[in-house]
Amino acid sequence: MQSTMVINCRNRTNAKNKGMECIFHSLNRHYIRMKKNERKENTNILFLVLDQLLKIMRSCDNLFNNLKPRLDFLGSYFDRIRVGQPTEYDINVILKFPINCGKIKLDATDCQNDYTAIVMPSDFRRLSLTPATASQGFTKTHSWCDKHYRLSVTKFRSWMQSTIDKAMNTLPQTDGYRVLKVKNKCFRIYSKTSGPANTITILKTDGSLIDIDLVPTFSFQLP
């Protein structure tokens, strides 16, 4: 009799667990998991807009063009751990300076909030003075370092924002949005600064938004 009761209890428990599992899968399917069609559509829009915007930025700023920018896709969506709808993306804009990165130093002296300063080598300082690199736009980097040759992240980000602004200002404007035309498709976009990122917002035809955080990133390897 006792063994029968145990079996019955287990059966009821298994049935309850299966019921909860069905409810979870239903919630995940209808409210949490990204819809395949929307994921594909938003990702296509993302690549179309960024590819064209990057081309415009390169044409607007000689320095940006000569830093050979490339995009690095990161964040919860590209790490395949995102739940909810694919409407927010984090993208690094990787920039590489023509210097000997092995001579870069890190210095935390007199830095606030536990930050570490990047001390640029003499190669970097010469970029704005040497005619060959100065003609490529590197004169803009002259003011990026203080008297101790520590790179100003604020000035670096400010330059990146100005490059985006110049690119955006080349686009026609309608109802407060800039209009970007790519492959016979028109996308309404606008930009704003959000912390270390420059956020590009795309307004889709159905009224929904896609936010893209572009983070300027100075790429180097320490020895």
The domain over range 35-218 is classified in CATH as 3.30.460.90: yes
Q: What percent of the chain has pLDDT over 70?
A: 76
Residue 187 parent element (H or E): strand 185-194
| 3-state secondary structure string across 7-57 | HHHHHHHHHHHHHHHHHHHHHHHHHHCCCHHHHHHHHHHHHHHHHHHHHHH
Place of tokens 């000689």: 62
| pLDDT score at 80 | 47
| pLDDT score at 7 | 39
Question: Taking Cα atoms as reference points, which of 64, 32, 63, 38 lies closest to residue 214?
Answer: 64
| pLDDT score at 13 | 52
| pLDDT score at 120 | 92
Instruction: Enumerate long-range contacts of 161-165, CB under 8 Å, 24 or more apart.
Output: 161/193, 161/198, 163/57, 163/60, 163/61, 163/64, 164/57, 164/191, 164/198, 164/200, 164/214, 165/191
Least confident of 14-23, 56-65, 73-82, 149-158: 73-82
Identity of the residue numbered 138: F
Least confident of 5-9, 167-171, 213-217: 5-9
Q: What is the pTM of this model?
A: 0.75
| pLDDT score at 222 | 67
Residue 99 pLDDT greater than 60, yes or no:
yes
- Per-residue pLDDT reduced to its tens digit, 27-80: 555 555 556 677 788 888 989 999 999 999 999 999 999 999 999 876 544 444
Answer for the pair 201, 189: CB distance below 8 angstroms, yes or no: yes
Residue 186 pLDDT greater than 70, yes or no:
yes
Domain borders along the chain are: 1-33, 35-218
Q: What percent of the chain has pLDDT over 90?
A: 42
Residue 218 parent element (H or E): strand 209-218
Least confident of 47-51, 79-83, 169-173: 79-83
